[in-house]
């Protein structure tokens, strides 16, 4: 063994001169590195503070050098010290022994919880290691080891470096180092013994003292006293009485809305196995003196219970199985599935409907037959086609600034949200389009339809194959659509109760950051249900099935004018995920359709019309009269209208009236022809303004509400607008496309204020474009004179143009700006074609949102500050990742991993609390101490047990060990018997009821003159560690070299 | 005249948003660092379109029509040697057109909020605009700039200091300008772009930004540290 041989005496004998030049080069390279790192000379730092090895920062610097073609890495490890500590650097202190030699004796950092092994063995704050660069390389032969060591010795001597220099020999796993430290006239040799089997005489203190003394070979008698530090480490793996209570929920049990004790909408939490695997107790005697204590082969004073210091560390189970983490991970996996819903379920409901909805032209041809599927009658393509033709005609094909493809895309998109304004009378154009009036189609009762759709599913799949059993499905549907339970489906305008106390909590607004959905929304609940279905009820198939049912329900609600519950009313909330927006969009459609249908009903039954489809709540008292007057017309017209009303905001087919108001409208507008018309569609009287020509009050008209938009539609729209480019032509076209709303408002305004001028309109609509000045007229009176702003007066600017085009038509008879039928069908189609993978991607933000809320909630119960911090980080991180349209899988995985991590930490905290019985603790103060102790165990590598074996925590730990030991003794396995049989074990057991220690560490220190009695007295140290299959001695022996 | 305030916005840098370039379909040129989406808002008639025209075409057109809905212009500028393509969306400002605008807030990196120094009412309305901005902006690190326009006119109603105060209160850049005389216009846009480029994470494309690693992996027994006692047993 390396330490047993005496390397220093053989160094020069084995020098092989054939390699001298390589060797010399190697030495000079070592010297170069030492010089580069400025490790030359003696730099004394502060004495080491207690615990600084753990609390301080360790750094390392590396370089590579080679010996011939064998590569070594040189690494400088050092504890970072304040720069002020190194001030004495330049003065060379002749008499002072090197820092490292002094550190050998320092007792402030014995047994550090986490440190480089050389630090642990020798108490060094700084050292350099030369080791083979490649992990599998090793310096094995003794001659090579010695060659290296002599290189070190020469390099140290040549440079005057006082930092200890080690070389690593043998295989790396053995952690064998030899080294040297040189000072002025002093040297320390670092030697090591490493054995598999412990020689009997070294298993106790007295034997080790003997080696130490013989190694020092001190010529003095009596020998100065040896100081001793001892640590025994005990490992507890068997937690006896303590059983990990958490079982994966029983999936088969379905009890009143709960599955295996899990409610829908709640996430599971916790580890399925004990996340704490071992407890290590270290009992330490930090400062013993030889002779005070007896520890030999027949007797030992070292009773762990009596040890002055106890410290504990826990070993965590690697990646314990955690429910929440699994839940989310499994859900995330759906994102990678390629199958469509149909493929998963077998061909089913969507096939027919889906195809029809998708293919509008095909659907058109079916119009003549009564079809169960509602299809809006005017095909978009027709509309666009004719509009396009009109534009072409106007401009001539060759001048067209846009290529046809671009234009087509634009028009297709626009047909959805804008109205293409043309010089040709738009109403006229529209009425022409409607002329070949489609045959009225009588829809089949919707309930029938859904009913039959459900039947179809059954038929296709057969009841028994159905991935979700009926009970589960019904429970979920009831959970998602609570309004279905009551006879009357939800009727109110808003389905989400915004006064809900949840909404005030800090977690509620997380949807904003995560782009998920509010935690009380349908979307969020759906995400949780799918998550649970995926985990417990049929996996992907179950997911596909539930989704199919969900889409059917959506169609049912659309057909029957039942609002969808769990969605905030109003236009889609762009801060939420797209799926949520789509559902909100559908709800907008339902709301408008419902209002229209109800308006129709009440009109025929001669009741107050309720301002169907408009800003009903804004209804002023002024137009009540108007409404009354109109009632008759409305009532009579509905019957003849069948489905074509879908083209109009609120429709009337009274062609006479159209002619009456529409055709007569002159280009100028103006009082003469117009005043005779009766005003229509007034919302309320404007506060101050009166019409310019006759001084009558100016009325604000009922206007069409803007079209609700989801983010994908908005994106499409702005893309189209941007594609028009920045030319004047493009800008003009862009304005034109967006003038639908302006035109509609102008028409409403004209209808509400017969005989009005553009000036009147502008004063309401864009007041700063009407400029008023005080002027003195001929009679010398101050009068207010107003006129349109310069930009409004530009001949044939778009405002003037639109004004001239606008007919006095109240909003309810205008073409709808928002085609709810079309939009609803688009949404329903969109929903129907979502694959489970798409769905999972849509909803993953909701699931992550829910998971974060869950860990937050669980953490609140435990109050772990480090977890609080991690959760905050997860939230910031997630909000960044999830705001991207298509977050990378890797980033999503990392978020999920973090959540799982937090779950494991909380589970560990619970496990420890249970093990230490913090809840059972009755005394408040003790309980607090114990809780603090447990939380330290989670966060620190090693925790001191206050009061050691006599403290509260100490007694609990003791009991844990005793119980485990007793259990092992009652049913001793063979191996245990063998261990108990050794004399060593018996000796150990005579002193305490603890099991034998898994490891023993001893540090022996003294200061003696070497090699002669008259040499300088220098630090000597030996560290030993003894475990079941490992024995190591690490010695540092210093000697005076002045006269040798 | 470079009268501006540095903005003092706090908050975490975002990880860059969807860039205007992708949305607007403008191909990114090789030497262009990035495409930025900028939005101009404010009451109608304060000179938004005129400011934009001055910036992009260096002209002033007294015959400029009132904007309908939103308009769109592109210009490439160079700030500190970085070329940036600006996709600038100009909005109408009238009450009724406002329902259109929220969609354009999405993904914008910079917003220019304009008022007319000769019309106090346009200054008073700034609060409403900021409210809207807050509601519809999808990100919190967007750079805002306040511009007081029409300083060439004599009948000033809003003092420069009032503008300054407002901007400071809301962490915005501030400048007074005139689309007519060209004062401050170029500077305003350059300043805004510079600020955006200085804001980490606001403009980089997704893959340029690797972001923070969250994992605190426990030190393994590899390397130099031997992991303390654990590895010894
Ligand atoms: N004197 C002066 N007039 C301006 C200035 N900027 C714009 N204007 C005028 O103000 C009116 C409104 O301008 P415009 O750019 O259309 O305002 P916008 O509605 O905010 O886009 C137009 O008549 C412009 O000529 C300016 O800096 N000085
Ligand atoms: Mg404008």
- pLDDT tens for each residue of B214-225: 233 333 333 333
Average pLDDT of the segment spanning A812-818: 84
For chain A, the domains span 22-81+96-195, 321-346+510-597+835-916, 709-817
**Structure confidence at residue A601 (pLDDT):** 65
Is the pLDDT higher at A355 or at A864?
Answer: A864
| CA distance readout (Å), B210 to B14, B15, B139, B214 | 12, 9, 19, 12
Distance B223 CA to ligand 1 centre (A): 68
- Residue of A706, A737, A876 lying closest to B12 (CB–CB): A876
Contact at CB, A769 and B45, closer than 8 angstroms: yes
Q: Which numbered atom of ligand 1 lies nearest the CA of B178?
A: 27
Q: Please indicate whether, in this complex, the C-beta atoms of B65 and A883 are within 8 angstroms of each other.
A: no
Nearest CA in chain B to A765: B94
Comparing A279 with B205, the larger pLDDT belongs to: A279
CA of B73 to the centre of ligand 1 (A): 17
**pLDDT value of residue A427:** 38
pTM of the complete model? 0.69
Residue contact B56–A722, C-beta within 8 A: no
Look at A611-615, A838-842, A909-913 and tell me which has the smallest mean pLDDT: A611-615
- Indicate which of B48, B64, B69 best probes the interface with A, i.e. most A CBs within 10 Å of its own CB: B69
Partner B contacted by A958 (CB < 8 A)? no
B63 CA distance to ligand 1 centroid (A)?
A: 10
Pocket residue to mutate for ligand 1, from A766, A791, A792, A794, most atoms within 8 A of Cβ = A791
Distance CA A536, CA A531 (A): 9
Distance of CA A290 to the CA centre of its chain: 58
Quick one: pLDDT band at residue A465, thresholds 50, 70, 90? low
Q: From the list B12, B138, B228, which residue is nearest A114 (CB)?
A: B228
| Structure confidence by residue, pLDDT tens digits, A139-173 | 888 888 888 899 899 999 888 899 999 999 988 88
Residues in chain A within 8 Å Cβ distance of B95: 765
pLDDT of residue B106: 77
Q: Calculate ∠ Cα A598-A604-A608, nearest 5°.
A: 65
How confident is residue A785, by pLDDT bands cut at 50, 70 and 90? confident
* Nearest residue in chain A measured CA to CA from B19: A884
In a domain, B6, yes or no: no
Contacts of B225 in chain A (CB under 8 A): 58, 114-116
Instruction: For residue B195, give its domain range.
Output: 34-205
Q: What is the pLDDT of residues B159-171, one digit of tens each?
A: 999 999 998 888 8
ipTM: 0.76
d(CA A828, CA A583): 9
CATH of the domain at B187: 3.40.50.300
End-to-end CA distance of chain A: 26
* Of A326-335, A358-367, A736-745, A996-1005, the least confident: A358-367
**Cα A419 to ligand 1 centre (Å):** 28
Statement: residue A603 has pLDDT above 80: no
Q: Classify residue B81: in a domain, yes or no.
A: yes
A76 and B CB contact within 8 Å: no
Q: What pLDDT is stored for residue A506 in this prediction? A: 61
Q: Kindly provide the b/e burial profile for residues A68-95, where b requires at least 16 CB atoms within 10 angstroms of the residue's own CB.
A: eeeebebbbbbbebeeeeeeeeeeeeee
Return the pLDDT at A473.
80
Tokens, residue A329: 């991970």
In chain B, residues with a C-beta closer than 8 Å to the C-beta of A747 are none
Tell me which chain B residues have a C-beta less than 8 angstroms from the C-beta of A114: 219, 225, 227-228
CB contact (8 A) between residue A1027 and residue B232 = yes
Q: What percent of chain B has pLDDT over 70?
A: 69
pLDDT digits (tens, 9 = 90+) for B1-36: 444 333 333 333 333 333 333 333 334 445 667 788
Q: Which of B99, B224, B233 faces A75 most closely, judged by CB atoms? A: B224
At A455, is the secondary structure helix, strand, or coil? helix
What's the angle, vertex CA A11, arms to CA A6 and CA A16, rounded to 5? 140
Looking at residue A14, its pLDDT comes to 42
For residue B90, how far is its CA from the centre of ligand 2 (angstroms)? Answer: 7
Examine residue B118 and state whether it is found in any structural domain, yes or no.
yes
3-state SS, B57-104, equals HCCCCCCCCCCCCEEEEEEEEEECCEEEEEEEEEECCCHHHHHCCHHH
The chain B residue lying nearest A131, using CA atoms, is B224
Which pLDDT value is given to residue A627?
A: 38
* Residues contacting A925, CB < 8 A, separation 6+: none
Given a cut of 50, is residue A812 above it in pLDDT? yes
Both tokens of A365, joined, read 């041809």
Tell whether the model's pLDDT for residue A978 goes beyond 60: no
Do the domain assignments include residue B68? yes
Residues within 8 A of B (CB atoms), A 894-913 only: 894, 897-898
- Most A CBs within 10 A among B46, B59, B142, B224, hence the mutation to make, goes to B224
Which of the ligands is closest to the CA of residue B41? 1
Say yes or no to pLDDT of A584 above 90. yes
| Predicted pLDDT at B125 | 92
CB-nearest to A233 from B43, B70, B229 is B229
Residue B233 lies in a domain: no
Out of B18, B211, B226, name the one closest to residue A117 (CB). B226
Higher-pLDDT residue of A66 and A990 is: A66
Interface mutation vs chain B, best among A722, A938, A1032, most B CBs within 10 Å: A722
User: Taking the mean position of all CA atoms in its chain, how far away is CA B89?
Assistant: 11
Is any atom of ligand 1 closer than 6 Å to the C-beta of B152? yes
């Amino acid at each position: 063994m390396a330490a047993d041989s005496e390397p220093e005496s053989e160094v020069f004998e084995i020098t092989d001169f054939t390699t001298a030049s390589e060797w010399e080069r190697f030495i000079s390279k070592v010297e170069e590195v030492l010089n580069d790192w400025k490790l030359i000379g003696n730099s004394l730092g502060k004495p080491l503070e207690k615990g600084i090895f753990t609390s301080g920062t360790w750094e390392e610097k590396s370089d590579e050098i080679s010996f011939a073609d064998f590569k070594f890495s040189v690494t400088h490890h050092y504890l970072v010290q304040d720069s002020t500590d190194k001030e004495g650097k330049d003065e060379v202190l002749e008499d002072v022994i090197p820092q490292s030699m002094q550190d050998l004796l320092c007792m402030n950092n014995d047994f550090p919880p986490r440190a480089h092994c050389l630090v642990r063995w020798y108490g060094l704050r700084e050292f350099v290691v030369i080791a083979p660069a490649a992990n599998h390389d090793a310096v094995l032969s003794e001659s090579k080891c010695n060659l290296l060591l002599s290189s070190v010795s020469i390099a140290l001597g040549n440079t005057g470096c006082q930092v200890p220099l080690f070389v690593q020999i043998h295989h790396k796993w053995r952690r064998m180092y030899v080294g040297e430290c040189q000072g002025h006239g002093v040297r320390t040799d670092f030697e090591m013994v490493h054995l598999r089997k412990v020689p009997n005489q070294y298993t106790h203190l007295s034997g080790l003292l003997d080696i130490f003394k013989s190694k020092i070979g001190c010529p003095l008698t009596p020998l100065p006293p040896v100081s001793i530090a001892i640590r025994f480490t005990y490992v507890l793996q068997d937690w006896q009485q303590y059983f990990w209570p958490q079982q994966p929920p029983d999936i088969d049990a379905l009890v009143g809305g709960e599955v295996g004790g899990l409610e829908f909408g709640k996430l599971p939490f916790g580890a399925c196995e004990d996340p704490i695997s071992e407890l290590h107790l270290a009992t330490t005697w930090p400062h013993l003196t030889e002779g005070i204590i007896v520890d030999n082969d027949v007797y030992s004073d070292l009773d762990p219970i009596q040890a002055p210091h106890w410290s504990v560390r826990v070993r965590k189970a690697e990646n314990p199985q955690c429910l929440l983490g699994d839940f989310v991970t499994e859900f995330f996996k759906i994102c990678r599935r390629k199958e469509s819903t149909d493929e998963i379920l077998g061909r089913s409901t969507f096939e027919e409907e889906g195809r029809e909805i998708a293919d509008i032209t095909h659907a058109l041809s079916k119009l003549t037959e009564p079809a169960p599927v509602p299809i809006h009658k005017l095909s978009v393509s027709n509309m666009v086609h004719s509009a396009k033709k009109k534009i072409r005609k106007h401009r001539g094909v060759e001048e067209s600034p846009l290529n046809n493809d671009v234009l087509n895309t634009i028009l297709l998109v626009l047909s959805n949200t804008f109205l293409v304004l043309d010089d040709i009378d738009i109403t006229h154009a529209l009425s022409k389009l409607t002329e070949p009036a489609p045959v009225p189609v009588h829809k089949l009762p919707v309930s029938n339809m859904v009913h039959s759709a459900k039947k179809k599913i059954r038929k296709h799949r057969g009841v028994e194959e159905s991935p979700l059993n009926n009970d589960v499905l019904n429970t979920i549907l009831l959970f998602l659509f609570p309004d279905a339970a009551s006879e009357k489906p939800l009727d109110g305008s808003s389905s989400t109760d915004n006064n809900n106390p949840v909404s005030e909590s800090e977690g509620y607004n997380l949807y904003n950051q995560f782009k998920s959905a509010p935690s009380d929304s349908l979307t969020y609940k759906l995400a949780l249900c799918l998550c649970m279905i995926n985990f417990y009820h049929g996996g992907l198939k179950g997911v596909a099935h539930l989704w199919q049912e969900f889409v059917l329900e959506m169609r049912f609600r659309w057909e029957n004018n039942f609002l969808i519950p769990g969605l905030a009313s109003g236009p889609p909330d762009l801060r939420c995920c797209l799926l949520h927006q789509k559902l909100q969009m559908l709800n907008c459609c339902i709301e408008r359709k419902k209002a229209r249908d109800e308006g129709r009903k009440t009109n025929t039954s001669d009741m107050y019309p309720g301002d169907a489809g408009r800003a009903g709540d804004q209804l002023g008292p002024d137009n009540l009269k108007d409404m009354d007057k109109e009632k008759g017309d409305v009532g009579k017209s509905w019957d003849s209208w069948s489905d074509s009303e879908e083209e109009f905001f609120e429709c009337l087919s009274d062609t006479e009236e159209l002619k009456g108001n529409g055709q007569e409208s002159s280009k100028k507008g103006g009082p003469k022809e117009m005043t005779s018309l009766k005003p229509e569609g007034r919302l309320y009287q404007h506060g101050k303004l009166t019409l310019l020509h006759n001084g009558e009050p100016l009325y604000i008209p009922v206007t069409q509400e803007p079209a609700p938009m989801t983010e994908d539609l908005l994106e499409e729209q702005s893309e189209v607008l941007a594609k028009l480019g920045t030319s004047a032509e493009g800008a003009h076209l862009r304005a034109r496309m967006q003038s639908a709303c302006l035109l509609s408002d102008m028409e409403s305004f004209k209808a509400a204020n017969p005989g009005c001028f553009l000036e009147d309109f502008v004063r309401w609509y864009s007041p700063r474009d009407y400029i008023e000045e005080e002027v003195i007229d001929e009679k010398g009176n101050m009068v207010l004179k107003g006129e349109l702003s310069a930009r409004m007066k530009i001949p044939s600017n778009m405002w003037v143009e639109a004004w001239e085009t606008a007919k006095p038509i109240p909003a309810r008879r205008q073409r709808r700006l928002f085609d709810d039928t079309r939009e609803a069908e688009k949404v329903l189609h969109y929903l129907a074609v979502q694959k489970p993978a798409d769905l999972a991607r849509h909803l993953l933000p909701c699931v992550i949102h829910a998971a974060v809320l869950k860990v937050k909630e669980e953490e609140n119960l435990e109050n772990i500050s480090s977890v609080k911090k991690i959760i905050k980080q997860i939230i910031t991180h997630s909000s960044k990742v999830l705001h991207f349209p298509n977050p990378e899988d890797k980033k999503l995985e990392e978020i999920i991993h973090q959540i799982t991590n937090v779950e494991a930490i909380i589970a560990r905290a619970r496990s420890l609390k249970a093990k230490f019985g913090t809840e059972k603790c009755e005394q408040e103060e003790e309980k607090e101490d114990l809780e603090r102790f447990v939380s330290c165990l989670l966060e620190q590598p090693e925790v001191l047990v206050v009061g050691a074996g006599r403290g509260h925590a100490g007694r609990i730990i003791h009991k844990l060990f005793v119980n485990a030991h007793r259990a092992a003794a009652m049913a001793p396995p063979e191996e245990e018997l063998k261990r108990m049989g050794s004399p060593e074990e018996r000796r150990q057991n005579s002193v305490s009821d603890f099991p034998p220690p898994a490891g023993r560490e001893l540090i022996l220190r003294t200061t003696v003159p070497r090699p002669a009695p008259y040499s300088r007295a220098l630090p000597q140290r030996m560290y030993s560690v003894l475990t079941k299959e490992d024995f190591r001695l690490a010695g540092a022996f210093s000697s005076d070299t002045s006269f040798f | 005249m470079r009268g501006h305030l540095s903005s003092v916005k706090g908050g975490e840098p975002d990880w860059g948003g969807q860039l205007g370039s992708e949305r607007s379909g403008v191909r990114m040129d090789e030497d262009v660092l990035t495409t930025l989406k900028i939005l101009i808002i404010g009451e109608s008639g304060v000179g938004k379109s005129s400011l934009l025209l001055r910036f992009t075409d260096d002209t002033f057109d007294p015959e400029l029509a009132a904007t309908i809905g939103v308009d769109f212009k592109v210009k490439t500028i160079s700030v500190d040697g970085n070329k940036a393509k600006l996709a600038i969306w100009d909005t109408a400002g009238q009450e009724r057109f406002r329902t259109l605008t929220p969609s354009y807030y999405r993904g914008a990196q910079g917003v220019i909020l304009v008022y007319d120094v000769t019309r106090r009412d346009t200054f008073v309305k700034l609060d409403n605009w900021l409210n809207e901005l807050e509601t519809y902006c999808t990100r919190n690190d967007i750079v805002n700039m306040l511009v007081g326009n029409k300083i060439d006119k004599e009948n000033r109603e809003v003092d420069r200091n009032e503008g300054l105060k407002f901007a400071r209160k809301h962490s915005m850049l501030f400048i007074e300008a005139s689309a007519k005389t060209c004062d401050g216009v170029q500077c305003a846009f350059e300043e805004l772009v510079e600020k955006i480029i200085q804001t980490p994470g606001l403009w980089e494309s997704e893959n340029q930004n690797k972001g923070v690693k969250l994992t605190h992996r426990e030190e393994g027994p590899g390397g130099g540290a031997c992991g303390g006692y654990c590895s010894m047993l």
